Amino acid sequence: MTTKIGIILGSTRPGRNGEAVAKWVLDIASKRTDAEFELVDLLDYNLPHLDEAIPPSMGQYTKPHTLEWAKKIASFDGFIFVTPEYNHSTSGALKNAIDFLFAEWNNKAVGFVGYGSVGGARAVEHLRLIAGELMLADVRAQVLLSLATDFENYSKFLPGAHQEAALTTVLDQTVAWSAALKPLRDAA
C-alpha cells in the first residue's frame, strides 16, 4: 500500500503567500515515487470556529463539515504543514482545523514548511508542541522561507536554490516516519 501524504495549506487569507509555497511543495513532492502527495487547502473545507460540543478526543463528531474534514485527514499516513507565521505563531485557521480532530492525526508523521519574516520558525515551534499532544511524530528537518530572501517584494515566491534540498530532506523524513508508524496505526 502506498504511503499517502497530505500537504496542508495553512492559510486562508486573501492574497496569501502560502498558496505558491504549497504548490511548490507539491511540485517537488510529485516527482517522488515513494509516496502519493495531495494538496489539502483549508479554503476547500469551510470550517467555522470549532463548533463540536464533545471534545475531539471522544471521536463523536456531529457536524457535516467535521465529518468531511475527518474523512480527508484519516485518508493520509502523514502530513506536510505549510504554515505562515502570524504574531509569533501559526495561523488561526490552521490551529482551528487541527483542533477539530484527534484520532485522525494519531500515529502519523508531520513535516513543516514555514514562511514569514524569520522563516516561520516560531509558527513551526508552536506546531511541534501541538503535534506532540496529537500523537503526530514531527520530523527534525524543516523548511524556513524568509519573506525577505525567498520572496520578491514580500509577495512573489522565488525560493533560494538551497530550499529544494531542505524540502527534499523534510519529505524523506516524513515519508520514512509515516511508513514506520504504520504498525501503530494498524493496531489502533
pLDDT tens for 106-136 read 999 999 999 999 999 999 999 999 999 999 9
For 88, the grid coordinates are 509569533
In 42-162 the beta strands, taken as DSSP E runs, fall at 78-84, 108-116, 136-146, 151-152, 156-157
Average pLDDT, integer, range 164-173 = 98
Average pLDDT, integer, range 20-24 = 98
Q: Is the pLDDT of residue 165 over 90?
A: yes
**Radius of gyration (Cα) for the chain, nearest Å?**
16
Question: Contact, 68 vs 62, CB < 8 A?
Answer: no
Q: What whole-number distance in Å separates Cα of residue 100 and Cα of residue 94? A: 10
Domain count, the chain: 1
Q: What whole-number distance in Å separates Cα of residue 29 and Cα of residue 20? A: 14
pLDDT at 52: 97
> 56-104, pLDDT tens digit by residue?
999 999 999 999 999 999 999 999 999 999 999 999 999 999 999 999 9
pTM above 0.85, yes or no: yes
pLDDT at 20: 98
Q: What whole-number distance in Å separates Cα of residue 120 and Cα of residue 160? A: 16
For residue 140, what are the domain limits? 4-187
pLDDT at 42: 98
For 36, the grid coordinates are 502519493
Task: Please list, in sequence order, all residues whose beta carbon lies within 8 angstroms of the beta carbon of residue 154, skipping any fewer than 6 positions away.
Answer: 147, 148
pLDDT at 109: 98
- Residue 122's domain is classified under what CATH number? 3.40.50.360
Q: Is the pLDDT of residue 1 over 90?
A: no
Q: What whole-number distance in Å separates Cα of residue 55 and Cα of residue 62? A: 11
Strand partners, 143: 113
Average pLDDT, integer, range 32-61 = 97
Average pLDDT, integer, range 152-161 = 96
